[in-house]
Chains A and B, each alone.
Chain A
Amino acid sequence: MNIFQVSYKNLLRRRLRTMFTIIGIMLSAWVLVTLLGFNKGYENSLNENIENMGFQVVLTAKGCPYEAATLMLKGGTGLRYMPENMVKDVAGKPEIANAAPMLMHAVFDPNKGESGGTTVFLGVDPNTYPSMKPYLKFNNEKGAWFSDKAKEVVLGFEAAELEQREVGDLMMLPGSEDEYTVTGVLSRTGTQDDGMIFLPLKTAQSAFKKEGELTMLGMRLNQDVDASAFEEELYKLPDVQVVSMAQVKNTIMSLVSSAKVIVLSIAFIAFLIAMFGVLNTVLMSVFERYQEIGILKSMGALPKDIFKMILIETTLLCSIGGVLGILFSFLFSGISEMAIRYFLPFAPQGALIAIDTKTVIFSFISITAIGIIGGVYPSLRAANIRPLDSIRSE
């Protein structure tokens, strides 16, 4: 037997109290790991979403820049249009390596999901759009992009699941009697493309009665081009909005930074709750064992032995709670993510909670350290109990 075993057995004395304290620490650790994981995951997903847009600069009809950013990321509604011929001039500029004109159309479908939902169609040029997004792959060998002007569609992964269509199936567009052939179903990308129904640009313009109009023009610049100077040149165009990927990223990241402060504040509060929970429990346990600790000292325990014994009890409580909290954050990250998506419907695609080794180690060390700090005062109180006082109180 050693002092560690004595401390461990002391914790078994009031099992219920020990259990509740561990649960308290576990919850704090769970909150901490999940929040830190969310911080990281949200930023990663957002970065990934922006990178996966495939465009460096997007031209849209003039309007709110945030609306334009939302349109780029989520395929938003309230769409504005710009003339196709004006865009053609831009697309021909030598600075541009590739330009993909797009027409987005969103239709509310009352039969979609439990309370209806929006189906987003994207008319794209099959010669330019796929090369801008090389990560778009078909989920089986039969899949292929449509030909220009054909009555064909390519479905994003989730759109295909929702429409329950496979390659070769026919489907109709809302408000149209024409049948369209599914030429391909894309693999899951974790981006807004998963929910999209793609069709040839000309077909889309005709089907949605938007001939000669575009929603946006996605551009990738040549490598040696000064992007800022080129954007400045685009600003001179009337009635268009220039949105660069760097701009979008900076705007969203500054919003995320503000959210980060809030998240870290909550994590700090979780820390404090854990610390005071431990302090309260251990101090109560020391007071309850006042006489017993005095007797241990009369039997030869030095103040440092008692300090060590109580601090080991605290460390055990915190490390068990910390490990359980970390396990829970892994086990229930799916549920936490669902909850976050429920409260943040416009959260980016991809894993919102990214718990890596660094987060786990940081959280474990922090929660244990903060618990131990909470245990220092009760340990000192215990170490300073005089055996004589405890015998007198007998």
Chain B
Amino acid sequence: MELIQANNITKIYTRGSEKIHALNNASFSVNKGDIVCVIGQSGSGKTTLVNVLGCLDNPSSGSLTIDGKEVFKTGLSLSESELTHVRRRFFGYVFQKFFLIPTLTVKENILLPAVFQKKYKANEENLDPIMEMLDIAKRKEHLPSQLSGGEMQRVAIARALINNPSVLIADEPTGNLDSKRSGEIKDLIVNLNKEHGITVILVTHNTDLAKIGNRTLELTDGVLRQ
């Protein structure tokens, strides 16, 4: 079942008088339950692509449909608040850096998106199963400074999952981890997809990690090859 449909997505940045085509007419679709890996050299447009897909940015042209609803089309861009509402509904994000709040415990960090979405009570019920699944239950009351890098990334993944997103967007999730911890995160993503049916869009340089995808999108200078 088609979850995301992108048609002729183009993103142009302006740097002084120069126009940079970060994405050129990218068209593709993502089905429910896919693991889509986005690969390419630095500066090829990978992050721009997932930013547009994840409604962190408006495309310059093209259209984007998520779960049957058209969220962007040429000539129509969404305000910051409108983008936030789309993100709240569909996406969870994991970044290379963990961005955990140092004064909040693991539990509080994970539940932070629920605080902003006013779903704290409802999502508190999700907390224990997610923490069990990510093997961080014992660390519930610990502060981020008491965790290893791998554990911190697990907490960041748990935080991305707490609001039951349809799609997990992971941008270089293993970029800050050693090979052992990277392997653990890779297994975890596969498990989330296989056992819980979460659709994953994964941006990576790591060729080993890229192998887990059932589809691969390769970008070269903003041009997409499937």
Residues in chain A within 8 A of chain B (CB atoms) = 1-3, 6, 9-10, 12-13, 291-292, 295-303, 305, 386-388, 391, 394
Cβ-closest 10 pairs across A and B = A301-B116, A300-B88, A299-B113, A9-B103, A295-B99, A388-B57, A300-B117, A12-B103, A388-B56, A305-B116
Q: A6-B104, A9-B101, A291-B97 are in contact. List 4 more A-B contacts (CB 8 A).
A: A10-B101, A298-B54, A299-B160, A300-B113
Asked if residues A388 and B116 are in contact (CB atoms below 8 Å), the reply is: no
Identify the interface centre among B80, B99, B159: most chain A CB within 10 Å of its CB: B99
Q: Which residue of B lies closest to A291 (CB)?
A: B99
B91-116 vs A, Cβ < 8 Å mask (1 yes, 0 no): 00101110101111000100111011
11 A-B interface contacts by CB (under 8 A) = A1-B108, A292-B101, A295-B99, A296-B112, A299-B87, A299-B160, A300-B113, A305-B116, A386-B80, A387-B56, A394-B95
Residues in B neighbouring A298, C-beta threshold 8 A:
54, 56, 87, 93
Residues in B neighbouring A297, C-beta threshold 8 A:
80, 84
User: At the interface, yes or no: B28 with Cβ under 8 Å from chain A?
Assistant: no
Residues in B neighbouring A394, C-beta threshold 8 A:
95-97
Q: Which of B51, B96, B120 contacts A1 (CB 8 A)?
A: B120
Separation of A337 and B210 alpha carbons in the complex (Å):
75
Asked if residues A391 and B47 are in contact (CB atoms below 8 Å), the reply is: yes
- How many residues on chain B are close to A (CB under 8 Å)? 31
Residues in A neighbouring B54, C-beta threshold 8 A:
298
Residues in A neighbouring B104, C-beta threshold 8 A:
6, 9
User: At the interface, yes or no: B63 with Cβ under 8 Å from chain A?
Assistant: no
User: At the interface, yes or no: B163 with Cβ under 8 Å from chain A?
Assistant: yes
Identify the interface centre among A13, A295, A299, A305: most chain B CB within 10 Å of its CB: A299
Asked if residues B113 and A302 are in contact (CB atoms below 8 Å), the reply is: no
User: At the interface, yes or no: B214 with Cβ under 8 Å from chain A?
Assistant: no
Asked if residues B116 and A300 are in contact (CB atoms below 8 Å), the reply is: yes
Asked if residues B116 and A302 are in contact (CB atoms below 8 Å), the reply is: yes
Asked if residues A6 and B99 are in contact (CB atoms below 8 Å), the reply is: no
Separation of A41 and B159 alpha carbons in the complex (Å):
57
B155-185 vs A, Cβ < 8 Å mask (1 yes, 0 no): 0000110010000000100000000000000
Residues in A neighbouring B115, C-beta threshold 8 A:
1-3, 6
Residues in A neighbouring B51, C-beta threshold 8 A:
388, 391
How many contacting A-B pairs (Cβ < 8 A)? 74
Asked if residues B111 and A300 are in contact (CB atoms below 8 Å), the reply is: no
User: At the interface, yes or no: B207 with Cβ under 8 Å from chain A?
Assistant: no
Q: How far is the CB of B221 from chain A (nearest CB, A)?
A: 18
Name the interface residues of B46-103: CB closer than 8 Å to any CB of A. 47, 51, 54, 56-57, 80-81, 84, 87-88, 93, 95-97, 99, 101-103
Given contacts A9-B104, A394-B96, contact A303 B116 (CB under 8 A): no
Given contacts A1-B115, A298-B87, A388-B51, contact A292 B81 (CB under 8 A): no
Identify the interface centre among B101, B103, B115: most chain A CB within 10 Å of its CB: B115
Residues in B neighbouring A10, C-beta threshold 8 A:
101, 103
Separation of A302 and B87 alpha carbons in the complex (Å):
11
Residues in B neighbouring A302, C-beta threshold 8 A:
81, 84, 116
Asked if residues B93 and A299 are in contact (CB atoms below 8 Å), the reply is: yes
Asked if residues A13 and B102 are in contact (CB atoms below 8 Å), the reply is: yes
Asked if residues B95 and A391 are in contact (CB atoms below 8 Å), the reply is: yes
Residues in B neighbouring A296, C-beta threshold 8 A:
112, 116
Residues in A neighbouring B163, C-beta threshold 8 A:
300
Q: How far is the CB of B132 from chain A (nearest CB, A)?
A: 20
Residues in A neighbouring B87, C-beta threshold 8 A:
298-300
Q: Which residue of A lies closest to B171 (CB)?
A: A391
Separation of A13 and B104 alpha carbons in the complex (Å):
10
Separation of A9 and B51 alpha carbons in the complex (Å):
30
Q: Which residue of A lies closest to B102 (CB)?
A: A13
Residues in B neighbouring A388, C-beta threshold 8 A:
51, 56-57
Q: How far is the CB of A98 from chain B (nearest CB, A)?
A: 73
Asked if residues B95 and A303 are in contact (CB atoms below 8 Å), the reply is: no
Identify the interface centre among A291, A305, A387: most chain B CB within 10 Å of its CB: A387
Separation of A391 and B103 alpha carbons in the complex (Å):
22
Name the interface residues of B114-169: CB closer than 8 Å to any CB of A. 115-117, 120, 159-160, 163
Residues in A neighbouring B117, C-beta threshold 8 A:
300
Separation of A237 and B87 alpha carbons in the complex (Å):
93
Q: How far is the CB of A316 from chain B (nearest CB, A)?
A: 14
Separation of A12 and B112 alpha carbons in the complex (Å):
17
Residues in A neighbouring B120, C-beta threshold 8 A:
1-2
Asked if residues B99 and A300 are in contact (CB atoms below 8 Å), the reply is: no
Asked if residues A301 and B80 are in contact (CB atoms below 8 Å), the reply is: no
Asked if residues B56 and A391 are in contact (CB atoms below 8 Å), the reply is: yes
Q: Which residue of B lies closest to A8 (CB)?
A: B103
Separation of A291 and B54 alpha carbons in the complex (Å):
17
Q: Which residue of B lies closest to A4 (CB)?
A: B115
Q: Which residue of B lies closest to A298 (CB)?
A: B93
Residues in B neighbouring A2, C-beta threshold 8 A:
115, 120
Q: How far is the CB of B158 from chain A (nearest CB, A)?
A: 12
Residues in B neighbouring A300, C-beta threshold 8 A:
84, 87-88, 113, 116-117, 163
